[in-house]
Copies of this chain bind each other. A is one copy, B any other.
Amino acid sequence: MLSQDNLRAALEFRREREWQQFHTPLNLAVAISVEAGELLEQFQWSLPNEVRPTDAQREAVEHEIADIAILVAYLANDLGIDIEQAVKRKLVLNAKRYPLEKARGSARKYDQI
């Protein structure tokens, strides 16, 4: 998550502003939830048949996704988590939890299939 260039720029952005003091793991998790809420707000009150976002929604979604990506990158950096390794491991775990024959076409959670 985040190219080396983007991660470096994001960390430098934070360092220059002396914002690490506010970036406890709790506060970063709070900020990620706040941004996830703002992302969700873009689709609030949409009717079942409105599956395609408008251009304005798409633009707003792009901003929210960027915010989430930056905050997640900060949290992972601060806790020494390698996101790409974590994703790789999670995909392996998910493949076990959701075997093809059981999970195909089903939206059930792994403990209910």
Q: List residues of A whose CB falls within 8 A of some B CB.
A: 1-3, 6, 9-10, 13, 16-19, 21-22, 24-27, 29-49, 51, 53, 58, 61-63, 65-70, 72, 75-76, 79, 81, 83-84, 86-91, 94-95, 98, 100, 103-107
Contact A72 B62 (CB under 8 A): no
Residue of A9, A30, A68, A95 ringed by the most chain B CB atoms within 10 A: A30
Contact A69 B67 (CB under 8 A): no
Q: Flag if A49 contacts B48 (CB, 8 Å).
A: yes
Q: Could you jot down 19 A-B contacts, CB within 8 Å?
A: A1-B2, A6-B84, A17-B104, A17-B106, A18-B105, A24-B51, A30-B30, A30-B44, A32-B40, A33-B37, A36-B36, A36-B37, A46-B107, A62-B86, A66-B87, A66-B90, A68-B72, A69-B87, A70-B91
